[in-house]
Amino acid sequence: MLRHGILALRFFSVLTLLTGILYPLAVTGIGQALFAWRAGGSLVRVDGRVAGSELLAQKFNAPRYFWPRPSSVDYATLPSGGSNQGWNSAQLKKALAERRANLEPSDRTATIPGDLLFASASGLDPHISPASASYQLDRVATARGFDAERRQRLLALIGQKTEAPVWGFLGQPRINVLQLNLALDSLQ
């Protein structure tokens, strides 16, 4: 019986060393060697300081910036995830009404894109649809005091920052909100 216990302890120690130490170190090393920028968090730097990550949404709520999708975790990275609220949830209905009121244009003829009303599954999706960016164009241009020429340049910027679906067919066209807002600041 003692022999089985010692054998089990040895087996446990070897597996712990392999799967708990050596494998994670090897994967991290390979990731750093082959994909250093991605493995480092895809951090975007402006003038030497970290402005954010291309992979995670950030909270932009000033009228002069494009807003990301809503986040059920308030853009916090550790408790990422969806709200898991069903269509009959009073809390979800209240959140949708607040978001709709915050986004509703004065003429009320435009349809609000769904990705501005509903959070993503992770709550941290850094992208919005081109329709969502176009929907916000008037608010951003007005808040920045853009004339007709700069509004046109802003519209062109939305087109420039639109990413095609992965490999041309996976997903939808999308815009990284951080990249768009950084380019917007240089448009002034």
DSSP three-state, residue 78: coil
From residue 69, how far is each of 48, 105, 114, 178 by CA, in Å? Answer: 27, 17, 9, 12
The per-residue pLDDT for range 50-82, each reduced to its tens digit, is 888 888 888 898 999 999 999 888 787 777 777
The pTM of the whole model exceeds 0.85: no
Q: How many residues does the chain have?
A: 188
Q: How much is the pLDDT for 107?
A: 61
In this structure, are residues 74 and 141 in contact, taking their beta carbons and an 8 Å threshold?
no
User: Who contacts 184 (Cβ-Cβ below 8 Å, separation ≥6)?
Assistant: 65, 66, 140, 154, 157
Q: Is the dihedral of CA 128, 44, 66, 86 positive or negative?
A: positive
The pLDDT confidence band at residue 23, using thresholds 50, 70 and 90, is very high
